[in-house]
Amino acid sequence: MELQSYSHNILKGYNMLLYFAGSLVMYEPKEECIVDFWQQGILTKLPVSSSNPNYAKAASQLRESCTDKVQCLKNLRDDYFKLFDGHGLPFAPAYESLYNNHAAEGMKNLAVSDFYYSYGWISKYKGRISDDHLAVELLFLTILVEKYLTIDDQVCLVEIRSEIRRFIDQHLFSWLGKWNEKVQEHAGSLCYKGIATLIYACVEDIYALCDNNQSVSINSPFPKN
C-alpha cells in the first residue's frame, strides 16, 4: 500500500504538469502564464524528480528560461505563433494526423476519437479543436490517470494500466518525439523547448509507471523531499 500511495502521488504530479504544459500548447500565452507557471515555481521547481534523461533536460531548460517577465512573455507569444499557429504554416503543428498516417501503415481503428468514445468521453473542445490536437490527447491521458487513481480493485488496476500504455503507444509515442524535435529546432527561446521536452518526459515516465510487469521501473520517477 505504501508503494502504491507513493506511485499515486507521483502520477498526480505528472498530471498537474501535463495539464499546465498542454494549456501552453493549446492557447496563446497570457501574462498569467508567467506568474502561475514560472514565478510561482511550478515549472522551474518541478513537483517530482526523475532519473529519465529527458526529464532532467526539461528541468534544466525550464530553470534557465524566463528570467525576465516582459521578455519572457514576448518570447512565449512569438514562439507560440511560429510553432503552433503560423497563419497556416506552423513549424511544429501539434496534431497527430500530421505526423501519422494510420491508413497507410495498415493500422485499423486507431482514430483517437474512437479511443475517446470507447470511454464515453467527448472533448469539451469538440467542434473547435480537433480531437488529435496534442493538448486534447494530453487531457484525455490525465483523465485516464485520474481514473486509475480512484480504482481499488487489483484486476481493474492492471487493466487501466494496460489501457494507459496502449493509448500512449498508439496516440502519443507514435509522433510525440517528432513533434518535440521540431520544437527544439525551431523555438526561439528555452521556454517552449523546455515545455516540449517536459511533455515528452512526463509521458515516458507515466508509461514506465504503468508497466504491469514491474512495480516500479528502473527509470521511474521519485517524488522530491
| 110: CATH | 1.10.3480.10
The domain tally of the chain equals 1
Backbone angles phi, psi at 191, to 5 degrees: -60, -60
* pLDDT(63) > 50: yes
Q: Which three cell numbers stand for residue 3?
A: 508503494
36-to-31, 40, 223 alpha-carbon distances in Å: 9, 5, 21
| pLDDT confidence of residue 43 | 80
Asked if the model's pLDDT at residue 102 lies above 60, the reply is: no
Q: How confident is the model at residue 218 (pLDDT cuts 50, 70, 90)?
A: very low
pLDDT of 105 strictly over 50: no
Q: Determine the Cα–Cα distance for residues 68 and 99; give it in Å rounded to an integer.
A: 34
**29-57 per-position pLDDT tens digit:** 988 888 788 888 788 788 888 999 999 99
- pLDDT score recorded for residue 177: 96
Which domain, by its residues, includes 51? 2-223
- Return the axis-axis angle of helices 154-171 and 190-209, rounded to nearest 10°: 140
Is residue 2 predicted with pLDDT exceeding 80?
no
Total-model pTM = 0.90
